[in-house]
Amino acid sequence: MLTAAVLAFLFVVLFPFYWIVLSSFTPKYELFTIPPRYWFSNFTLENYQVLAESIPLARYFVNSLLFAAGSSVVSVAAAFLASYALARIQFRGANVVFIVFVMSLALPQVGGLVPLFELFKNTNLINTYHGLVMLMSSLVLPFTIWILVPFLRQIPYEIEEAAIIDGARLPQLFWFITLPIMRPALVTMLIINFIIAWNELIYPLVFATSGSNKTLSVGLVELAVQPTAGGGRPWDLLSAMSVVMIVPILVLVLFFQRLIVSGLTRGAVK
């Protein structure tokens, strides 16, 4: 009974991936067969080749990487500083500020696009990496703070106390004591925010309009949503591009499984 449930679960979760991978190595003309083929028949790398020729794949990949890495570093840095103030200094109103931060999660991202677009246009931030990184790090900031503040509150104050008595100043304190103590939480949030940013669609779609700034997610959507471009949805290319997009994520997930789980669950479960 339990085994059956586990197997059913594995099937439902993994089958779509199998299907995407299978399609990406199947020649285009064989994708449109009835019934569909369930196993690799004519293994081919052609889809990947055509994909690399038809869009600047390497460029998009690098863009995604810079965008995701930049956003995760900036968001965690900003969240670290803010959580220190909120968790350690505990000034009057700290808790209100914390709650307001967390509540701002609820502001729907798409609702602010128009003013942001005008603002970015006027400040020449459209099609810039720093503009995109700013938007994305702000988007994941509330969640990051939500995780970091309780984490910091749990850590005993004694070590920092000892350092202060030894005459450490705040920057030294941060660098030698607080950062190392918080490392597991910070690394976790770096990875989670990286994954979230890597998967992000709306911001790059709206604010990276030139070919040189587009990310993989935008490239994928462009292939998928423009039936008039090449005449249809090129499933051969879409599946190949999907694979390109999820492989780095899979590697991260498998390597850092434990960290990610601890980070994702800490918000809701304390």
Partner 1 sequence: MKSKPVTRISRRQFLKAAGLAAGSLSMGVGLSACAVPPARVPQQPAQPAAPSPTQAPAADTGRKTLVLAIQGFAHDAMKPVLAKWEERTGHKVTLESGPVTGNEMITKYAPAFQSGVSPVDVMSDADDSGPAFYRAGWMEPLDEVIPQETWDDFPESFKQQIEVWHSFEGKRYRVPHEFAIGYTFYRKDWFDERKIEPPKTWDEVVAIGKEFTNPPVFGTMEALIKPGLAFVYMAYLAAQSGGNLFAFDDATAKAFQFAYDLIHTHKIMPETTLSMDYTQQNEEYMKDHVAFMRQWPFFWDVARGNKDWYKEGRAEIALPPAGPAGAKSWWGGWGFSVPKFAPNKPEALDLIAFITNNENAPILAKGQSWFVMPRKSIMAVMGNEGLAVHMQRYAEANVPSPRPFHPKVAEAQSVVDDVATLYLTKQISLAEAMQQGKERIAALG
Partner 2 sequence: MPARAARFRLTQRMRRNATLIGLLLLPAIGLRLFTAVYPFFNTIWLSFHDWNPAFPPQQFVGLKNFQALTRDIAVTSSISFTILFVVVSTLLEIALGMAIALILNRAFFGRGAVRAVNLIPWAIPMVVAAVGFRWMYDTQYGIINDLLHRTIGVKVPWLVDFWGARAAVIATNVWKSTPFVGLVLLAALQGIPQDLYEAGRVDGTNRISAFFYITLPLIMPQIVTIGLFMVVWQLAAFDLVFAMTGGGPGFATQVLAYRIYQVAFMALNFGYASAISMVLFVVVGVASVIGLALFRKVEVSL
Angle (CA) 239 44 243, round 5°: 25
Residues 196/201/204/206 CA torsion (nearest 10 deg):
-140
The residue from 68, 135, 189, 240 that contacts partner 2 (CB under 8 A) is 135
Whole-angstrom Cα Rg for the chain:
23
Alpha-carbon span 66 to 72, nearest angstrom: 10
Q: Does 238 bind partner 1 (CB under 8 A)?
A: no
Does the protein bind partner 2 through residue 257 (CB under 8 A)? yes
Q: Among residues 76 and 266, whose Cβ is nearest to partner 1?
A: 76
The binding track of 54-83 with respect to partner 1, each residue x by CB under 8 A or -, is x----x--x---x--xx--xx--xx--x--
Single out the residue of 25, 60, 67, 98 in contact with partner 2 (rule: CB under 8 A).
98
Cβ nearer to partner 1, comparing 10 with 170: 170
Among 51, 68, 145, 189, binds partner 2 (CB under 8 A): 145
- Whose Cβ is closer to partner 1: residue 81's or residue 250's? 81
CA dihedral 36, 41, 43, 46 (to 10 degrees): -40
CA 150: distance to chain centroid?
Answer: 22
Does the footprint of partner 1 cover residue 6 (CB under 8 A)?
no
**How far apart, in whole angstroms, are the C-alpha atoms of residue 267 and residue 150?**
9
Cβ proximity to partner 2, 13 vs 58, nearer residue: 13
Question: Which tokens belong to 195?
Answer: 């994954």
Matching residue, tokens 């390109």:
244
Q: CA 13 to CA 116: how far, in whole Å?
A: 37
| Residue range at the interface with partner 2 (CB under 8 A); choices 40-48, 51-59, 131-139, 180-188 | 131-139
The site partner of 255 among partner 2, partner 1, none (C-beta below 5 to 8 Å per kind) is: none
- Which of the ranges 42-50, 55-63, 178-186, 250-258 carries the binding residues for partner 2, by CB under 8 A? 250-258
Q: Quick one: which of 106, 122, 210, 232 contacts partner 2 (CB under 8 A)?
A: 106
Half-sphere exposure of 9 (CA within 13 A, CB side): 6
Binders of partner 1 among residues 122 to 151 (CB under 8 A) are 122, 126, 128-130, 133
Q: Which of 191, 166, 193, 192 is nearest to 177 (CA)?
A: 166
